[in-house]
Structure 1
Amino acid sequence: MFVAIWCVFIVILNSLLGAVLISPRINGGQDAEITQFPFMASLRELRGYNQYKHLCGSVIISQRYLLTVAQCFSSEQVNWFGIAAGTSKKNEDVFIHRIRRVATHEKYDAFVAPFMHDIALIELEQPLTLSERINVISLNTTFYEGHLDAVTLGFGGVYDNIAKLQSIKMKTMTNPECRSKVGKDNQVYDFGILCAYSGDVKRRIGHGDAGGPLVHQNKLIGLISWNPKVVGSDKPEGFTRISSYNEWIAKHMK
């Protein structure tokens, strides 16, 4: 019942905002191995007795902490969620790391500005054991203007038939360039938003990819937040800009 109500809310929100994560998965991406991107993890939601299914992407930044976006948490009940790490397969039956605490940004408001301050920090109950399949990524601290080569990753939506991690090459753009492309479809805030595009309308991110990484030179520069709702659109996609939240992240990493 709760999931159904939340889905109705998202549909209404989508119609109001005009820029949402509506594609069911990364489109046109390439298969990726977790050993290439061992910092990638799946945020899973409890669906039935001890059955966790992929909900959003997440990124390992230390043995105990991960980042994702605030929009992925429709509930503060952390026992409804878990982390699957070290796998390239979306819903592979692997060990689920239990979550101790989730800190969503204090200024995040899903009703007023759902793509502003769209960031959340996950603390695990027990630290991860690092390996070639599970590892951390460094956070970017530089405010980049744009025109960087980057890559983004995602497992896709809960119900689609894509079972493996996908990657897409992207190029970032400045916020003024992004605003000129996006137009009235969404507000591109100077603080906290980073835009990027693949250069191919067939290569897009989707709602199951929210919270996944945008990476430049082996550093995390963004988290997947939103994309234009027009299928086949050449408009850029929106990411939470990591360099805008370094202090916030450090504050909440106890």
Structure 2
Amino acid sequence: MLVSVCILGLVFDSISAAVLLTPRINGGQEVQIQQFPFVASLRELSGTNQYKHLCGAVIISEKYLLTAAQCFHSQQVNWFGITVGTNKKNDETAAVHAIKRILVHENYDAFTAPFNYDIALIELDQPLKFNERVKQISINGTFFEGQVEAITLGFGGVYDNITKLQSLKVKTMTNAECRSKVNKLTPVYDYSTLCAYSGNPKQRIGHNDAGGPLIHENKLIGLISWNPQVVGSEKPEGFTRISSYYEGWIKKHMT
């Protein structure tokens, strides 16, 4: 699948070399958008009226989506857009929805802690029209620990050969277990990190999957944030823990 964003290149010198992001969701299964109609693509303007996939995003209401804070090197809304209702990464026929507001978590710091408070809220200029291909997902506010079966989804990187939405089955682990399996400098925050692993070192999330959903029983529990190793590693991946932000931050800013 995916994971990083443009600004990550600015912080590589300050974090462990182990925190390297793979090029895409590897070993995933291609899925139809009707199976996961809440998945969206955050796109960045790369030319004259040309938008390319940058990160994953998740529809949580007709006007609001969630994604990773790391996806934004700027909060200039006209530099970004949202596409929905398609499982194609760069579907040129899909309408690009204008963004009214980008709200990166106020405690997010790309330079000192690029994966802490890794959450952003997107408000659209106009509400989405829901149908079988475009729907919101409910949020599960439970603080999950280990051994929870989940699914994560992503479109893959900008330059890889993945062209359609991929899904990957994973299982969560406790933060203590996660911390014991990754490099000491890999960020595992008690408050905001939820770790998970597919159980297969060839099945990984990777570049440009950041902001995509982690779901359990068709409810959102996390957002893709980081991957500490390349394909072939047995180390877990990190997700932004939605339960830590739902009541106090997400609801507050959905006005």
User: Which is further off, 180-189 or 79-88?
Assistant: 180-189
Q: Please tell me whether the aligned partners of residues 10 and 111 of structure 2 are also in contact (alpha carbons under 8 angstroms).
A: no
Matches within 5 A, 1:1-254: 10-11=8-9, 13-18=11-16, 19-20=18-19, 22-93=21-92, 94-246=94-246, 247-254=248-255
SS at match of 2:14: helix
RMSD of aligned residue pairs (Cα, Å) = 1.3
Shift of 1:140: 1.1
Instruction: Give the unaligned 5+ runs of structure 2.
Output: none
Paired residues of 1:21 and 1:207 also in contact (CA < 8 A): no
Find the aligned partners of 1:12 and 1:245 in 2 and give their Cα distance: 26
Structure 1-normalised TM-score?
0.94
Q: Which has the higher helix share?
A: 1
CA distance in 2, matches of 1:234, 1:172: 14
Q: Which digits, 9 at most, give the CA deviation of each residue in 1:14-34, with x for residues without a partner? A: 343235452111001000110
**What TM-score do you get using the length of structure 2 for normalisation?**
0.94
Whole-angstrom distance in 1 between the partners of 2:115 and 2:34: 31
Would you say how many aligned residue pairs link Structure 1 and Structure 2? 248
Q: Which amino acid aligns with 1:14?
A: F
Residue 207 of structure 1: how far off its partner (Å): 1.9
C-alpha contact 1:119 1:240 (8 A) present in aligned 2 = yes
Tell me how far apart the structure 2 counterparts of residues 231 and 164 of structure 1 sit (CA, whole Å): 19
Unaligned runs of 5+ in 1: 1-5
Q: Distance in 1 between matches of 2:211 and 2:98?
A: 18
Give 3-state SS (helix, strand or coil) of 1:115's partner. Answer: coil
C-alpha spacing 1:110/1:12, structure 2 compared with 1 (3 Å) = closer
**Offset at 1:12?**
5.2
Partner of 1:3: none
Whether the aligned pair in 1 keeps the contact of 2:22 and 2:230 (CA below 8 Å) is: no
Residues 26 and 12 of structure 1: is their aligned pair in 2 closer, same or farther, counting only changes over 3 Å?
same
Question: Identical aligned pairs, as a percentage?
Answer: 68
Alpha-carbon distance in structure 2 between the residues aligned to 1:183 and 1:252: 35
